[in-house]
Amino acid sequence: MMASFGQITWIAMLESAAYCVVLGAILFAGLRSHQVRAVLYSGLVVLFSIFWFASFGQLYLKQVHVTSFPLTLFIPVFLSLALDYRLVAALAPVQSVLIFNYAQQYSATLGAESSTGFESVSIVYAVLSGIMFTLVAILAWVRQHTDDELIRALNEKERLASTDSLTGLMNRRAFMDSLSTFCAAKSTFAVAFLDLDRFKPLNDQFGHAAGDAVLREISNRLQQVPGVRAAARLGGDELAVALDANLSSAELDKAVANLHSCLTRDVEWDGKTLSVGVSVGYATNARDAQSLPTLLKAADTAMRRAKAQQTGWASFSVDVDGAALDTHSSEIEFRSALSRGDLRAAIQPIANAETLEIVGYEILSRWTQCGLRQTPEPNEFIPMAERLGLLNDLLWMTLDETLRSGDVIPHRLAVNISPAQLQAPDFVDCFMNVLKARAVDPAFITLEITEQVAYRNIESNVEMLEKARRAGMTIALDDFGTGYSSLSMLDRLPLDKVKIDKSFSQRSGSSDRSDSILHASIRLAKQLHLTCCVEGIETEEAARKVQLFGADEIQGYWIGRPMLLTDTRVAFKRAS
């Protein structure tokens, strides 16, 4: 602005340099997050002072121009906008006095004709300037009050989101965040899970108020135990702590024993002595587990063992608790493997018993790549998938992979389904959508069920199977002869085919009775006009025998072993 009027003076240059220094200090404090508010307020007050020193200096040297006076009205107000309301209120009278004096000297410097008239104007400007500062102070107070309320609300919200309201301990989310922070810092720590013993009887006898009192007292004790880095209530009467694990095994055992002893002291409430036990199990991230989920499961497993054996507390042991932990690790790995596509489709051929021509394939699942010590077999991960609610995901993935391959159509495809899948009202619709997406006729699909579909919800299961038959699919009863009500199932279920369990064919030949049972089972299926397939055919002799007995189809290792789709580019053509 000075340059635009051609009045660049040494005072203006010093003023600009001072501004740069102060603004640089404010910027540096902001970047380093060091005392930002204090530096900002101090810097703005310094800028206010520099401005007025420069303004009066220019008056003294008679270097003023027509814009000098308006600048004194607005620049100080502009600087005050970011100040604390108390500082603005304190500067209001200072600004009024400075404006009045500046206006008097300004008029004298410009040679005003009526100093008395300009004095009145100076008073008006001084009052207006003071009022402007006062208004800015009020606005700053309102803004700061609103900001403080907002910050308090956010802090309270964060506290409520991370704190258990009853005990004041961390909740599960905050505890997990703390453990994740420890892991990120590569810190060594132990996690202990705690479960109160006899807590439900205590609630039943004395009421929930007594139970709440016990939880609060236990939580208070937890926070006073040396070595506890974080404590949380996970829910109900389950608690957890993170302990400093920079101790030997013996020292850590002693610390946990001390923790258990501290927590199991009686609790006084309402004139009564309440006795409650605590079961503690712990594991360390350095010794027992490399991942946080595995560490938590290890501590929980040790706690459950301590509770079952009534030992008070227990340390995780690979030898004792390894099997339970492996199950948990398998479940975690299964989820990842399913999302990565490490579970693949495999097929096993089904042949015509008379001609030995391949007439269909059974779709199976195989876990091909696994980070566990031993890759689980289908009889291990299929129940796991059902337990985790992922059986349908596994089915759709393997079915879609099989239909995409194009190597098995137009052969019939047998798909194993569980009773739990039939309980979903949209199961058949979803199945049909997969077939439609791959342009596959439902007539090529056989749904294989077991007798478990009759153990419960048989009416809804039968209804779903009838719906599948109306859509064009075939229904087969798998593992016939292994259940407790096989014959009644032949009458109750809507069946087109029976697959006789491999135990019959493998026992055949050991006695005349075994042969008679196998023969009778085949004849029964034939008399009911059901297609009969015998499983477990492992020799040519067995194949010839069931052919003579009248079986329609055979399946087993002699026909072909299950193979991944990627390994079946040369398709099975004939078993012999």
Check residue 576 and give its pLDDT.
37
Stretch 61-80: mean pLDDT:
76
Residue 574: pLDDT over 50: no
Q: How high is the pLDDT of residue 101?
A: 84
Q: How does 469-506 read in b/e, with b if 16+ C-beta sit within 10 Å?
A: beeebbbbbbbbbebeebeebbeebebebbbbbbebbb
Q: How far is CA 240 from the centre of its chain?
A: 19
Strand partners of residue 427: none
Decide if pLDDT at 206 tops 50: yes
Q: What is the pLDDT of residue 342?
A: 83
Give the span between the Cα atoms of 338 and 376, in whole angstroms. Answer: 13
Residue 462 pLDDT more than 70? Answer: yes
What six digits make up the tokens of 113? 């004709």
Contacts of 406 (CB under 8 A, 6+ apart): none
Does 117 score more than 60 pLDDT? no
Q: d(Cα 384, Cα 376) in Å, to the nearest integer?
A: 10
Instruction: Average the pLDDT over 406-413 and give the result.
Output: 78
Position 286 confidence tier, pLDDT thresholds 50, 70, 90: low
Distances (CA, A) of 576 to 532, 534, 557, 558: 21, 17, 12, 9
CA 437 to chain centre: 32
Predicted confidence band of residue 148 (pLDDT cuts 50, 70, 90):
confident
What percent of the chain has pLDDT above 70? 87
Sequential DSSP letters for 60-113 = HTT---TTHHHHHHHHHHHHHTTS-HHHHHHHHHHHHHHHHHHHHHHHHHHT-S
Q: Which CATH entry fits the domain spanning 335-567: 3.20.20.450, 2.60.120.10, 3.50.50.60, 3.40.50.720?
A: 3.20.20.450
Q: Measured on CA atoms in the order 104, 109, 112, 114, is the torsion positive or negative?
A: positive
pLDDT value of position 433: 92
Cβ–Cβ < 8 Å for 193, 321: no
Q: Is the torsion defined by CA of 178, 179, 182, 187 positive or negative?
A: positive
Task: Centre a 10 Å sphere on the Cβ of residue 201 and count the other Cβ atoms it contains.
Answer: 10
Q: Where are the domains of the chain?
A: 3-159, 172-316, 335-567
**What is the residue-wise DSSP string for 162-190?**
HB-TTT-SB-HHHHHHHHHHHHHTT--EE
Mean pLDDT for all residues in the chain: 82
Amino acid letter, residue 502: K
Q: Is the pLDDT assigned to residue 6 strictly greater than 80?
A: no
Q: Which helix (H) or strand (E) holds 433?
A: helix 427-437
Alpha-carbon separation of residue 542 from 321, 348, 355, 506, 514 (angstroms): 44, 18, 15, 8, 13
pLDDT at position 290, please? 63
What number is the average pLDDT over the span 330-344?
Answer: 79
**Burial degree of 342 (CB within 10 A; 0-12, 13-18, 19+):** middle
Which string of DSSP letters, residue by residue, matches 453-505? GGTS-HHHHHHHHHHHHHTT-EEEEEEETSSS-HHHHHHHS--SEEEE-HHHH
User: Which helix (H) or strand (E) element contains residue 146?
Assistant: helix 115-162
Range with lowest mean pLDDT among 129-133, 358-362, 374-378, 539-543 = 374-378
pLDDT digits (tens, 9 = 90+) for 89-102: 888 888 888 888 88
pLDDT at 573: 44
- CA distances (Å), origin 358, targets 346, 411, 465, 532: 16, 8, 26, 15
Cβ within 8 Å of residue 301, ≥6 positions away: 281, 316, 321, 324, 325, 328
Band the pLDDT of 514: cuts 50, 70, 90.
confident
Cα angle 567, 569, 574 (rounded to 5 degrees) comes to 100
Q: What's the CA gap between 553 and 186, in Å, rounded?
A: 60
d(CA 453, CA 460): 10
527, two tokens: 């008399």
Q: Which pLDDT band, with edges at 50, 70 and 90, does 76 fall under?
A: confident
In the predicted structure, residue 106 carries a pLDDT above the cut 90: no
Tens digits of residue pLDDT in 366-402: 888 765 666 778 887 888 788 778 888 889 899 988 8
Q: Band the pLDDT of 288: cuts 50, 70, 90.
A: low
Alpha carbon distances (Å) from 332 to 135, 191, 335: 62, 19, 5
Tracing tokens 């970047």 back to the chain, one arrives at 31
Residues 105, 103: Cα–Cα separation, whole Å: 6
CA distance 428 to 431: 5
Least confident window among 179-193, 349-363, 461-475: 179-193
CATH class of 172-316: alpha beta
